[in-house]
């Protein structure tokens, strides 16, 4: 899959999913908010049901060493749930780095796509400013 934002000349890519290999749990090994000093990296991700029906998902945040644990987050009521980690993600809206394990409560198969963006870049920045990866089914 390709994602692009032509106005900003950003693009990234992630793989598709094999529905037969999915489970009720996905793992995302790198989740960040406000990571960096001037240029900051943020994470957002989507969790979707494989069959297109509404899901009930709880994400358990796993902090990296030196970062505070965050209470689990539960979302439901849609076939696709969006987690925007840029706004009010961690206590006091501070820098946080870790991972997440998200599980669907009724055992439905789910998939996840993680997007990371960098903000506060100089106008002449020449490197990628977005990236994406598939969550791993566990």
Strand (E) positions, 1-138?
2-5, 10-13, 25-33, 40-49, 55-63, 73-78, 80-84, 96-104, 110-119, 130-134, 136-137
Average pLDDT over residues 59-67: 91
CATH number of the domain bearing residue 69: 2.60.290
- Is residue 37 included in any domain, yes or no? yes
Q: Is the pTM of this model over 0.85?
A: no
On whether residue 56 sits in a domain, the answer given is yes
Predicted pLDDT at 68? 84
The region of weakest confidence among 4-8, 30-34, 103-107, 110-114 is 4-8
Domain assignment present for 6: no
8 in a structural domain: no
* Residue-wise pLDDT tens digits, 20-36: 999 999 999 988 877 77
């Amino acid at each position: 899959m390709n994602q692009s934002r032509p106005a900003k000349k950003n693009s990234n890519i992630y793989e598709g999913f094999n529905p037969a290999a999915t489970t009720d749990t996905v793992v995302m090994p790198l989740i960040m908010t406000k990571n960096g000093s001037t240029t900051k990296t943020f994470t957002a991700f989507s969790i979707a049901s494989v069959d297109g029906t509404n899901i009930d998902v709880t994400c358990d945040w796993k902090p990296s060493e030196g970062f505070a644990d965050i209470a689990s987050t539960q979302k439901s009521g849609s076939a696709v749930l969006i987690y925007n980690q840029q706004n009010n993600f961690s206590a006091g809206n501070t820098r946080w780095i870790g991972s997440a394990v998200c599980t669907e409560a009724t055992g439905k198969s789910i998939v996840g796509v993680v997007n990371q963006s960098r903000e506060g870049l100089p106008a002449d920045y020449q490197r990628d400013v977005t990236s994406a990866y598939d969550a791993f089914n566990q």
